[in-house]
Amino acid sequence: MTQVFQADGQVVPVTLLKAGPCLVVQRKMPTTDGYDAVQLGLVEFVKPSRINKPETGHLKKAAAEGAKHLRELKLRPGDDDLKPGDKVLAGHFKPKDKVDVVGISKGKGFAGLVKRHHFRGGEDTHGSMFHRAPGSIGASSYPSRVWPGMRMAGHMGSARVTVRNLEVIDVDAEDNVLVVKGAVPGPNGGYVLVRRAKR
pLDDT tens per residue, range 148-196 = 999 999 999 999 999 999 999 999 999 999 999 999 999 999 999 999 9
- 61: enclosing H helix or E strand: helix 53-61
Query: What's the mean pLDDT when you consider all of the chain?
Result: 92
pLDDT 10s digits, 115-153: 999 999 999 999 999 999 999 999 999 999 999 999 999
Model pLDDT, residue 15: 97
CB atoms within 10 A of CB 174: 9
Q: Check residues 97 and 69 and name the one with the higher pLDDT.
A: 97
What's the pLDDT band for 199 if we cut at 50, 70, 90?
confident
pLDDT of 79 reads 77
Separation between Cα atoms, residue 190 and residue 10, nearest integer Å: 28
Determine the straight-line distance between the first and last CA of the chain, rounded to whole angstroms.
Answer: 25
- The percent of residues above 90 in pLDDT, for the chain, comes to 69
* Residue 106 or 85, more confident: 106
Domains and CATH numbers, the chain: 21-88 (3.30.160.810)
Q: Region 38-55: what's the mean pLDDT?
A: 88
Question: What order do you get walking across the sheet with 37-43 strand by strand?
Answer: 67-74, 37-43, 22-28, 87-88
Helix (H) or strand (E) holding 59: helix 53-61
Task: Inform me whether the pLDDT recorded for 17 exceeds 80.
Answer: yes
pLDDT (0 to 100) of residue 65? 81
Write down the pTM of the prediction: 0.84
pLDDT of residue 151: 96
Would you state the pLDDT for residue 44?
86
| Average pLDDT rounded to a whole number, residues 93-101 | 95
